[in-house]
């Protein structure tokens, strides 16, 4: 399965660990932005920002599972959500999840394409229950108990 995780940059360590975990289990992530440094201010870093924006947009065309780690603020993750929802309109095979305490923050979280779940482990239970072993549960719970 090909995954993408959208969230705020402040969750990048969490995303990085989840991405590494999935890769260790032979899943792929279409774009791992968690390894990027800050591109802010965007105007000052416009060339790199433009390249990353294009790479993410292109990568979202090839995703099977899109997970939005919801947050009380943030903007870019909603652009990514919009891109993937556009893809869903053309091909309803993609699965889209909004996860966490703020999974009802936006009107679009209530779109029929989106499943709102409390924890990332709920996504794993649906998409790849074989990954929910004792070892992985301990790892995932150590990352952020509120999201898992």
Average per-residue pLDDT in the chain? Answer: 89
- All structural domains of the chain, each given as residue ranges with its CATH number in brackets, are 2-143 (3.40.50.450)
> What H or E segment, with its residue span, contains residue 6?
strand 2-6
* Residue 1 clears pLDDT 60, i.e. is over it: yes
22-29 CB contacts, 8 Å cutoff, 24+ apart: 22/131, 25/128, 25/131, 25/136, 27/1, 27/2, 27/3, 27/128, 28/1, 28/2, 28/3, 29/2, 29/3, 29/4, 29/5
Using CA atoms, how far apart are residues 92 and 45, in angstroms rounded to an integer? 36
**Dihedral-angle region of residue 100 (phi above 0 means left; psi in -120 to 50 means alpha; beta otherwise):** left
Other Cβ atoms closer than 10 A to 72? 9
Give the global pTM: 0.91
pLDDT digits (tens, 9 = 90+) for 63-120: 999 999 998 888 889 999 999 999 999 988 999 999 999 999 899 999 999 999 998 8
């Amino acid at each position: 399965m090909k995954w993408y995780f959208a969230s705020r940059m402040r969750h990048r360590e969490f995303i990085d660990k989840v991405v590494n975990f999935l890769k260790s289990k032979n899943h792929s992530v279409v774009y791992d932005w968690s390894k990027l440094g800050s591109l802010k201010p965007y105007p000052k870093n416009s060339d790199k920002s433009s390249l990353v924006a294009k790479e993410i947009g292109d990568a979202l065309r090839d995703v099977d599972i899109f997970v939005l780690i919801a947050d009380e603020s943030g903007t870019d993750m909603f652009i990514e959500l919009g891109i993937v929802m556009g893809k869903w309109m053309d091909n309803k095979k993609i699965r889209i999840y909004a996860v966490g305490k703020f999974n009802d923050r936006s009107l679009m979280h209530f779109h029929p394409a989106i499943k709102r779940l409390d924890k990332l482990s709920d996504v794993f239970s649906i998409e790849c229950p074989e990954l929910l072993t004792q070892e992985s549960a301990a790892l995932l719970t150590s990352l952020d108990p509120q999201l898992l």
